[in-house]
Amino acid sequence: MVSASPSSRQAARSAGQPLSRPVGTATRGTTHQNRLRRMDRWITAVHGPALRRHTDPVVVDLGYGAAPWTAVELLRRLRTAEPRTEVVGIEIDPARVAAAKPYERDGLRFRHGGFEIPLADGRRPVLIRAANVLRQYEEDEVAAVWARLCARLAPGGLLVEGTCDEIGRRHVWVALGPEGPRTVTFAARLGSLGRPSDLAERLPKALIHRNVPGEPVHAFLRDFDRAWAAAAPYASLGARQRWIRAVRDLGTDWPLMDDPRRRRQGEVTVNWAALAPRSGRSGQV
């Protein structure tokens, strides 16, 4: 829990935001344009039909950071799937909300808040995206945050929570419904990938400390590296063809959930149950 400084409180007043203390802790706020493009593309492709079916397709960009770029880009990308989509950027630092206000437009708003997801008029989001938000939390705090966010979703809604590097080349995220985690997606700019286990440093908080022998995520990355090595002859056709071949071989032993067409984008999605920690509270929503 954080409290607003006097300057932050003044910014909140000028932005017309309430002064109640939101739930959560302020992040570093680091953000860059196009940082979340891989996650956005996946959400648009996989969750676009749910947006089109929903009568009120409102989406939350939780913890968008010191600049509003990720929320602006999310709206633009999701509107290619459903033009009625609205995006609300939520930040725990009221000064960041005040700075984002000039970027508001039709379908894009910014609000002061945290894990309580303060939307007006009792609206419930069909999607919450929380990128690079839980990195600073302890592993045993993740399940409670997941449960709180999932409880705010509209029926049929989705929470997408994960971590990426500073310029969005490597990204791993978990997709969750009200019943809990469903899948884990690994995504990379393939031309910069040495081996699949390079993605380990971007595992979400629920998994990053589980990349040790005896844990499923460690075994998965080990097998992925082996499949990548075996697919080396395909490198002459390009990194994409090598990735596609490695993922195909990986699927003989692991429950892959993605549309094979997504693999051309440098993605692979795995059933959460196959990677869930063997012990501890992470992933128990």
Q: Which of 128, 157, 178 is the last residue of a domain?
A: 178
The pLDDT value given to residue 32: 72
Instruction: Answer yes or no: do 95 and 195 share one domain.
Output: no
Q: Mind listing the pLDDT tens digit for each residue in 104-140?
A: 999 999 999 999 999 988 899 999 999 999 988 999 9
Residue 283 lies in a domain: no
Whether residues 273 and 144 share a domain: the answer is: no
Whether the CB-CB separation of 267 and 43 falls below 8 Å is answered with no
Is residue 107 domain-shared with residue 170, that is, in the same domain? yes
Phi-psi region of 24 (alpha: psi -120 to 50; beta: other; left: phi over 0): left
- Determine, yes or no, domain membership for 247: yes
Give how far the C-alpha of residue 77 lies from the chain's centroid of Cα atoms, to the nearest Å: 15
**Count of domains forming the chain:** 2
Q: What percent of the chain has pLDDT over 70?
A: 88
Q: Provide the residue range defining the domain that includes 236.
A: 190-277
**Chain center to CA of 124:** 18
The pLDDT tens digits for 143-174 are 999 999 999 999 999 999 999 999 999 999 99
Examine residue 215 and state whether it is found in any structural domain, yes or no. Answer: yes
| Same-domain status, 45 and 137 | yes
Pairing status of strand 108-112 against strand 58-62: unpaired
- What would you report as the CA-atom Rg of the chain, rounded to the nearest whole angstrom? 19
- The pLDDT tens digits of the residues spanning 4-44 come to 333 433 444 444 444 467 766 666 556 778 899 999 999 99
Is the residue at 184 inside a domain? no
Looking up residue 39, the CATH number of its domain turns out to be 3.40.50.150
The three-class DSSP label of residue 11 is helix
**How do residues 196-250 score in pLDDT, each as one tens digit?**
999 999 999 999 999 999 999 999 999 999 999 999 999 999 999 999 999 999 9
